[in-house]
Structure 1
Amino acid sequence: MSDKPGGKELKVPNMSYVVSIFKVMSDETRLSILWLLSQGEWCVHHLAEALDTSVSNISHHLRLLRASRLVKSRREGQKVYYSLDDEHVVRLLDEAFEHAQHG
């Protein structure tokens, strides 16, 4: 008889990508960007205005968020618009904020 949950062998998945996502999200500016993007598409200038910081600072954070596949971009003329990469990111944010409200 196995003393493991469910009586079966459990294999721990590779956690490095998940850890990298949480590391990227652990910065307050990046989390604020993600929250704003959960409300819809934003360009860099409007994000900088909303967060009262420089365009170069926002661009730096957006590069990290894109590298982690949390954010995607699209170009329209000279402007680049950013949004959350997919519905998983929305759910992850929703769960995190809901959990924080119950803490």
Structure 2
Amino acid sequence: MRVDTKSPRETPEDDHVALAVEVFRMLSDATRVRLLWAMLDGERSVSELAETVGKSPAGVSQHLAKLRLARLVRSRKQGNQVFYRIENSHASQLVEDAIYHAEHSSGGFPPHHRPHPVTGSRTKSR
């Protein structure tokens, strides 16, 4: 008989569960997922993000404000421009994993397993 050496997971605190629910609520909007995806490679200005997702800067700013309140992104002002980046590696991983899970769920050979056209290496090994 095999005995698990892992200790059982502790029950998360109520405020952590509430924040996790808020994070998933923020990820339930396609524009916000696209904005987060666009920031995976680094900081972007509101105007760059608006162009990337094909939305108005004002609309994008509203989405970014919600993401900031949910602690998924942080902002930095430089002159009259505001730049956003993903808050931390956990938020980045959450977005990547959600998209990669969707790619696996849709069948076929997921794009993140295909060789990169320039380097020839796979983008991820998941």
TM-score normalized by structure 1? 0.84
List runs of 5+ in structure 1 lacking aligned partners.
1-5
Q: Deviations over 1:45-91 (max 9, x none)?
A: 11111111111100100000000000001122221110000111111
Structure 2 SS opposite 1:69: coil
Distance 1:25 1:9 in 2: 25
Shift of 1:9: 9.4
Q: Give the corresponding residue for 1:3.
A: none
Q: Which amino acid aligns with 2:62?
A: H
Say which structure is richer in helix: 1
Aligned residues: 98
The runs of 5 or more residues in structure 2 that have no matched partner are 1-5, 106-126
Check whether the contact 2:74–2:87 (CA below 8 A) recurs between aligned residues. Answer: yes
Structure of greater relative contact order (alpha carbons < 8 Å, 6+ residues apart): 1
- Kindly provide the amino acid, as one letter, of the partner of residue 46 in structure 2: V
Q: Are the counterparts in 1 of residues 37 and 96 from structure 2 also a CA contact under 8 Å? A: no
Please tell me the root mean square deviation across aligned C-alpha atoms, in Å: 2.0
Q: Per the alignment, do residues 26 and 78 of structure 1 end up closer, same or farther by CA in structure 2, a change over 3 Å counting?
A: same
**Residue 12 and residue 83 in structure 1: after superposition, are their counterparts in 2 closer, same or farther (change >3 A)?**
closer
Shift of the 18–9 alpha-carbon distance from structure 1 to 2, 3 Å rule, reads closer
Find runs of 4+ consecutive structure 1 residues off by over 4 angstroms: none
2:59 is aligned to 57
Aligned to 1:86: 88
